[in-house]
Amino acid sequence: MKIRITETVALEASKLVLHLAVGNRFCARLTDYDGTQVGRTYAGVVPEFMPGLHGGEFVMLHIALETGHVLNWHEPTVEQLTAIFVPAVSENLDAMGQ
């Protein structure tokens, strides 16, 4: 006779580790405190400032279960953000039809 016994075991989990394969389908935008978009929407490979050894292909986040904070986040530089979200002068001229 087979009898199934299920035992509950208490575990201490502290973070959720996500490795999401996105390839060149990464998309991001910056907003101000009111939620208004600042700069252009970025679409392409995962930017260098994203955490982890992602090679431009993966989003790798470690999230604290209790707070929802991203534990492996490092503040990007102004230069990194500008390179992605601020269009070049030539793009602005093209948009104005010049």
**What are 47-61's pLDDT values in tens digits?**
999 999 999 999 999
Residue 91 pLDDT grade (very low, low, confident, very high; cuts 50, 70, 90) = low
In the chain, pLDDT over 90 holds for what percent of residues?
69
pLDDT of residue 93 exceeding 80: no
pLDDT at residue 58, as a whole number: 95
**Domain map (residue ranges) of the chain:** 15-95
pLDDT the model gives residue 95: 53
pTM (2 d.p.)? 0.73
* End-to-end CA gap in the chain: 83
**Cα(42)–Cα(37) distance, rounded to whole angstroms?**
12
- At 48 the three-state DSSP class reads coil
Q: Residue 34 pLDDT > 80, yes or no?
A: yes
